[in-house]
Amino acid sequence: MALKITVIGTGYLGATHAAAMAELGFEVLGLDVVPEKIELLSSGRVPMYEPGLEELLAKHVAGIEGSSGRLRFTTSWEEVGAFGDVHFVCVNTPQKHGEYACDMSYVDAAFASLAEVVREGALVVGKSTVPVGSAERLVGVLPEGVELAWNPEFLREGFAVQDTLHPDRIVVGVQDERAEKLMREVYAGPVGDGSPFVVTDFPTAELVKTSANSFLATKISFINAMAEVCEAAGGDVVKLAEAIGYDDRIGAKFLRAGIGFGGGCLPKDIRAFMARAGELGADQALTFLREIDSINMRRRGQMVEMAREALGGSTFLGRRVAVLGATFKPDSDDVRDSPALNVAGQIHLQGGQVTVYDPKGMDNARRLFPTLGYAESALEAVRGADVVLHLTEWREFRELDPAALAEVAASRVILDGRNALDSERWRTAGWTYRAMGRPRA
């Protein structure tokens, strides 16, 4: 008999994981404590923008015409306990308010509820990003005869479906062979398609996740540090990144210089990692992450300074600033810790009249920064602007017609905070184009 799977927490990670498990052929039951989310998911919709996810849900959610019917959602813990052979815990672990450490309250609450209903012989699998040592502690919360595995998730927003169905690797922390066997059964599909399956102990599995994100953050801050040096020396960081990226040992990915990283993962994960290392007495090993964080945050301020300079003066008062992009990266509607909105907010606080446009992030941006100005298109945002800031590299912005925008802007100055626009196209249309870490033409 095929394993029955539950997924606890239906945010980005959980909703995608539940749909992917149904796609792999399992019967799946997703649980969330928010009834509105369950209602939405049960009709095949998601409360966020993630390419391909609604299509996958429509393919499997019970009650949708033509679906496999393998995927259902509930708010009932009893139902989850009775149903599942394998329970994936996918709740979020945000940064604690005013602290670096990670907030484990959702994970702890999920384990406590699950412990009351889980059947003997079932396997609980933690997927949330947690401080190392959590799995060892949480195994103690589960009743006798229920095992735990730790299986971190590496999905990227915007590629969540693809990353879940075809992961670069599957990492599983276990304490015994039975848990490993069950995990191999769950992931037989992706492993058969070539995804490596790495079995570790609990702490290593937890550390793989935080160290992978730290490495990615380090790569981005490294190239942004090089951008600063390029700015001082008159070099071109885009050419530099291309040239060092040809070295296989370095690799070309994650070397895009600009206003730095944001989102719900990298910034909070490196901070929580530092906090945990401190608790373990290993803080010296991670002091470099403090520098990674500070290079990253500095980029936002430097973008503000570039804008101030482009306006030729000391103040933003009364100046109109168009901001293209609000999300922390393209193909997502997520504005959590978004560098783009941070820059927009700083300029607004200094008296600038900021107008933001983003293809998918407008609702979330309006909720988070209600006092900024918003426009319904790039053209409207740019109308009357004294300077244009390109802060999230959506394809839509690369495809804009610089000549049409030149007609409506008050001043033709564009600052590319993501090094993603075709500088020649903009210059040919009469714009002054400037980018971070690149020489002025």
Phi, psi of 227 (to 5 degrees): -60, -40
- Residues from 143 through 162 that contact ligand UDX (CB under 6 A): 153-157
Q: Any idea of the CA torsion for 62, 83, 183, 9, to the nearest 10 degrees?
A: 70
Q: DSSP 3-state assignment of 2? A: coil
Count of all residues that appear for the chain in the document: 441
- Which CB, 155 or 400, lies closer to ligand UDX? 155
The CB-of-194 to ligand UDX minimum distance in angstroms stands at: 19
The CB-of-299 to ligand UDX minimum distance in angstroms stands at: 9
Rule CB under 6 A: say whether 90 interacts with ligand UDX: no
DSSP state of 255: -
CB 337 within 8 A of CB 267: yes
- Which CB, 252 or 410, lies closer to ligand UDX? 252
Number of Cβ atoms within 10 Å of the Cβ of 166 = 14
Number of Cβ atoms within 10 Å of the Cβ of 223 = 25
Phi, psi of 179 (to 5 degrees): -60, -40
From the list 29-37, 111-119, 213-221, 408-416, the region that binds ligand UDX by CB under 6 A is 213-221
- Which CB, 203 or 245, lies closer to ligand UDX? 245
Rule CB under 6 A: say whether 261 interacts with ligand UDX: yes
Instruction: Give the residue, chosen from 70, 319, 329, 390, that forms a contact with ligand UDX under the rule CB under 6 A.
Output: 329
Cα distance between residue 111 and residue 53, in whole Å: 27
Cα separation of the two ends of the chain: 66
Chain centroid to CA 64: 29
Closest Cα partner for 203 from 132, 100, 106, 252? Answer: 132
Rule CB under 6 A: say whether 366 interacts with ligand UDX: no
Rule CB under 6 A: say whether 361 interacts with ligand UDX: no
Instruction: Give the residue, chosen from 100, 254, 350, 383, that forms a contact with ligand UDX under the rule CB under 6 A.
Output: 254
Rule CB under 6 A: say whether 263 interacts with ligand UDX: yes
Q: Which of 90, 102, 230, 265 is catalytic?
A: 265
Rule CB under 6 A: say whether 220 interacts with ligand UDX: yes
The CB-of-74 to ligand UDX minimum distance in angstroms stands at: 26
Question: Total binding residues for ligand UDX by CB under 6 A?
Answer: 20
- What are the residues facing 389 on neighbouring strands? 323, 415
The CB-of-162 to ligand UDX minimum distance in angstroms stands at: 12
Cα distance between residue 43 and residue 301, in whole Å: 43
Cα distance between residue 179 and residue 172, in whole Å: 9
Q: What is the DSSP string of 31-77?
A: E-S-HHHHHHHHTT--SS--TTHHHHHHHHBTTSTT----EEEES-H
> SS in 3 state form for 99-121?
CCCECCHHHHHHHHHHHHHCCCC
Instruction: Give the residue, chosen from 161, 226, 266, 270, that forms a contact with ligand UDX under the rule CB under 6 A.
Output: 266
From the list 71-79, 252-260, 354-362, 405-413, the region that binds ligand UDX by CB under 6 A is 252-260
Rule CB under 6 A: say whether 319 interacts with ligand UDX: no
Instruction: Give the residue, chosen from 22, 240, 255, 274, that forms a contact with ligand UDX under the rule CB under 6 A.
Output: 255
Rule CB under 6 A: say whether 258 interacts with ligand UDX: yes
Q: Is 265 a catalytic residue?
A: yes
Rule CB under 6 A: say whether 126 interacts with ligand UDX: no
- Which CB, 80 or 170, lies closer to ligand UDX? 170
The CB-of-391 to ligand UDX minimum distance in angstroms stands at: 10
Tell me the catalytic residues.
Answer: 265
Binding residues for ligand UDX, per CB under 6 A? 153-157, 213, 216, 220, 254-256, 258, 260-263, 265-266, 328-329
